[in-house]
Amino acid sequence: MDPILDFTGKVALITGAASGFGALLARELGRRGALLVLGDLNMGALDKLVADLEGEGVTALARRCDVSSEADCKALVDTALEHHGRLDLAANNAGIAHGFLGMEELTGELLDQQMNVNVKGVMFGMKYQIPALRQGGGGAILNTSSMAGIGGGPKIGAYAASKHAVIGLTRTAAVECGRKNIRVNAICPYYTRTPMLEGDGLAAGDQADQTLAMMAAGSPMKRIGEPEEIVAVMLMLLSPANTYMNGQAIAVDGGVSAY
């Protein structure tokens, strides 16, 4: 196997693993030899994913994890240490979004919801992942931000605020942990076909087709992203062969940030 894509024996923790980027990342890491520790609130979907992975010969553990709970974030790391004795990789992927609202329509309650999941989930995750990674001699953390964490997020202001905070935490941890051989980066996708966007997500309802067309028009490639395109970059960012990329917020956006 190409060493850039070889995760054999690496213990990888993923939050928000039951669907979207998290589920696809779990599949791709598992196929490349990683030992998986997966967390999500949706245990039905998570248990099904683990059963599928085990059917493919992948070692995977499932644990209910509400990332807004510090205790749950600690317990997920403890699960990795108890079963495998170490942690090598962590993807803080769990997140929520909110419907399209102008700045004057935002509420404190809405902002709290975004911060509790999107920001606390990353902060609490890294709080316990970093000591575990250091114990094993280092590793990599990948936090899921957004293009709304790099620039403005029209009509999704509370979400944008939370994703900017994710990048702030990522860069701070990267500076603090670089000398500990722990790399910390963030991925910043443009609109992508995941449950957060489709189904009951941002593009739900009678205007779904128009909303998706508007999102596609905003990209130089005139389409939104596919999950596989985002996860391909996530694999690169987590790769054990990628040893000097640290503290970066990587846009995977079809060229939106080039405007």
Domains, in order of start, for the chain = 3-190+227-251 (3.40.50.720), 193-224 (no CATH)
Strands 249-252 and 139-144: unpaired
pTM of the model: 0.96
Question: What are the phi and psi torsion angles at 52 (to 5°)?
Answer: -60, -45
User: What are the residues whose beta carbons fall under 8 Å from the beta carbon of 123, sequence distance 6 or more?
Assistant: 169
Return per-residue pLDDT of the chain as tens, 259 residues: 787 899 999 999 999 999 999 999 999 999 999 999 999 999 999 999 999 999 999 999 999 999 999 999 999 999 999 999 999 999 999 999 999 999 999 999 999 999 999 999 999 999 999 999 999 999 999 999 999 999 999 999 999 999 999 999 999 999 999 999 999 999 999 999 988 877 656 665 567 788 889 889 999 999 999 999 999 999 999 999 999 999 999 999 999 999 8
User: What are the residues whose beta carbons fall under 8 Å from the beta carbon of 10, sequence distance 6 or more?
Assistant: 29, 33, 34, 35, 88, 89, 240
Q: What is the DSSP string of 174-203?
A: HHHHGGGTEEEEEEEE-SBSSTTTSTTSTT
User: What are the residues whose beta carbons fall under 8 Å from the beta carbon of 93, sequence distance 6 or more?
Assistant: 14, 15, 16, 17, 20, 21, 22, 25, 142, 144
Catalytic site includes residue 259: no
Q: From the candidates 159, 190, 244, 259, which is the catalytic residue?
A: 159
Nearest 10 degrees: Cα torsion 233, 46, 173, 107? 100
Q: What is the DSSP letter of 257?
A: G
Q: Is 102 helix (H, G, I), strand (E, B) or coil?
A: coil
Instruction: For tokens 């790391």, name the residue.
Output: 77
Structure tokens at 64: 């209910």
